[in-house]
């Protein structure tokens, strides 16, 4: 009889433990969730973090809040995320800068983007556009390549700072086209656009959201977008391939990452919640010059590794360094 009671007690305890574990998994999140944005407020990283925080809070009934941690580009915030507790209560917005560029830009990096993080979801992507000064004689990328081939360094291109997406996209164009443009460094896009509008610089590569207002107002020339398809925000601007320079398809992307060793059940729940709210963000993402992106879960690791390898190779071949 004693043995029977003991056996029943053990079975009851196991049953309670089973249901408790299931409830704990189903209850995530049961406290506020932090989303680290590794840049200052403003810009695409911040936009994605804040829109997702709002949408996930409404879906789960739990608070999601953005914590901006800028510094050393995206290094400070990304390192902080990598060192956070892997419990699902610290998420991070990751993109090309912190997940692909930094490994090659810095001789010593305090985190490993491939080993220290797990991609939860890629949610947003946006393209780049090549713009030229209003009176630039060349009308197409093909004509620009021909001029730069005949007279290396005769065409100038602005960059928005060492290691920025604008500089690296320009480097990708030069590599793909096999030409050399004369780089002129600026501190940020506004300064570059100021000289482009004044006619002191020939070309600039920037995000579609940043470049199109100048194109639409007629202040600069929209030459080509670097995506595989035309932007709905600029249907008259051709792709590079359409304009005679094939092999260059560049999209910038952003997503949510968590520290390695985050419980798989938490990652599954996050993926379900993010996928559920993405349709609600479509209009807001498109107004910002991008679009929602829902990559299949089984493709995420391979895609991140491929982007990391591609940009690391390009940056090292171009000799671009930040330390």
List pLDDT tens digits, range 45-98: 999 999 999 999 999 999 999 999 998 889 999 999 999 999 999 999 999 999
Say if CB 60 and CB 93 are below 8 A apart. no
What is the reported pLDDT for 318? Answer: 87
Largest CA distance in the chain: 98
> In this predicted model, what pLDDT tens digit does every residue of 265-283 receive, in sequence order?
999 999 999 999 999 999 9
Q: Give the C-alpha separation, 2 to 232, whole Å.
A: 75
DSSP state letters, 39-98: S-SSSHHHHHHHHHHHHHHHHHSS-EEEEE---TTTHHHHHHHHTS-SSSSEEEEEEHII
Q: Give the C-alpha separation, 19 to 239, whole Å.
A: 55
Q: Which phi and psi (to 5°) does residue 61 adopt?
A: 75, 10
* CATH of region 32-125+252-318, choose from 3.30.910.20, 3.40.190.150, 3.40.50.170, 2.60.40.10: 3.40.190.150
Domains 32-125+252-318 and 127-225 share a fold: yes
pTM of structure: 0.85
What is the reported pLDDT for 15? Answer: 38
User: What distance, in Å, lies between the first and last C-alpha atoms of the chain?
Assistant: 74
Cα dist from 273 to 46, 52, 59, 194, 259, whole Å: 19, 10, 7, 42, 18
Q: Give the C-alpha separation, 153 to 165, whole Å.
A: 21
For residue 207, give the 3-state DSSP assignment.
Answer: strand
What is the reported pLDDT for 13? Answer: 37
List the structure tokens of 190: 């506004």
List the structure tokens of 300: 């995420």
- The set of residues, in sequence order, having a beta carbon less than 8 Å from that of 308 and lying 6+ positions away, is 99, 100, 103, 113, 114
Pairing relation of β-strands 90-95 and 156-159? unpaired
Q: Give the C-alpha separation, 135 to 126, whole Å.
A: 27
Q: Which residues of the chain fall below pLDDT 50?
A: 1-25
What is the reported pLDDT for 26? Answer: 54
What is the reported pLDDT for 18? Answer: 35
Query: Where are the alpha helices (H) located in the chain, listed in sequence order?
Result: 2-27, 44-60, 75-82, 96, 102-105, 141-150, 165-177, 189-197, 208-216, 264-287, 300-318
What is the reported pLDDT for 20? Answer: 37
Burial letters for 149-164: b for 16+ Cβ neighbours within 10 Å, e otherwise?
Answer: eeeeeebbbbbbbebb
Question: If one looks up domain 127-225 in CATH, what number appears?
Answer: 3.40.190.10
Domain limits, the chain = 32-125+252-318, 127-225
Pairing relation of β-strands 182-185 and 90-95? unpaired
């Amino acid at each position: 009889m004693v043995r029977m009671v003991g056996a029943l007690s053990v079975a009851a305890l196991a049953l309670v433990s089973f249901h408790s574990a299931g409830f704990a998994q189903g209850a995530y999140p049961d406290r506020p969730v932090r989303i680290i944005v590794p840049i200052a407020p403003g810009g695409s990283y911040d936009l994605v973090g804040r829109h997702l925080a709002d949408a996930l809070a409404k879906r789960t009934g739990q608070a999601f809040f953005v914590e901006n941690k800028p510094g050393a580009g995206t290094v400070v915030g990304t390192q902080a995320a990598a060192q956070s507790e892997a419990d699902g209560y610290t998420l991070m917005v990751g993109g090309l800068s912190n997940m692909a560029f930094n490994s090659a830009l810095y001789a010593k990096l305090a985190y490993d983007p491939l080993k220290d993080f797990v991609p939860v979801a890629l949610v947003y992507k946006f393209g780049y556009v090549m713009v030229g000064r209003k009176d630039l004689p060349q009308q197409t990328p093909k004509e620009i390549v021909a001029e730069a081939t005949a007279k290396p360094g005769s065409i100038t291109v602005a960059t928005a700072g060492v290691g920025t997406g604008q500089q690296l996209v320009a480097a990708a164009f030069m590599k793909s086209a096999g030409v050399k443009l004369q780089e002129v460094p600026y501190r940020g896009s506004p300064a570059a656009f100021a000289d482009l509008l004044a006619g002191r610089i020939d070309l600039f590569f920037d995000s579609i959201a940043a470049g199109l207002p100048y194109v639409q107002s007629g202040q600069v020339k929209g030459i080509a977008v670097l995506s595989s398809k035309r932007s709905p925000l600029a249907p008259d601007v051709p792709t590079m391939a359409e304009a005679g320079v094939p092999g260059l398809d560049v999209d910038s992307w952003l997503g949510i990452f968590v520290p390695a060793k985050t419980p798989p059940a938490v990652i599954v729940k996050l993926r379900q919640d993010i996928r559920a709210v993405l349709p609600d963000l479509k209009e807001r993402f498109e107004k910002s010059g991008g679009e929602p992106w829902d990559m299949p879960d089984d493709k995420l690791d391979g895609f991140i590794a491929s982007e990391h390898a591609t940009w690391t190779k390009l940056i090292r071949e171009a000799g671009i360094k930040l330390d």
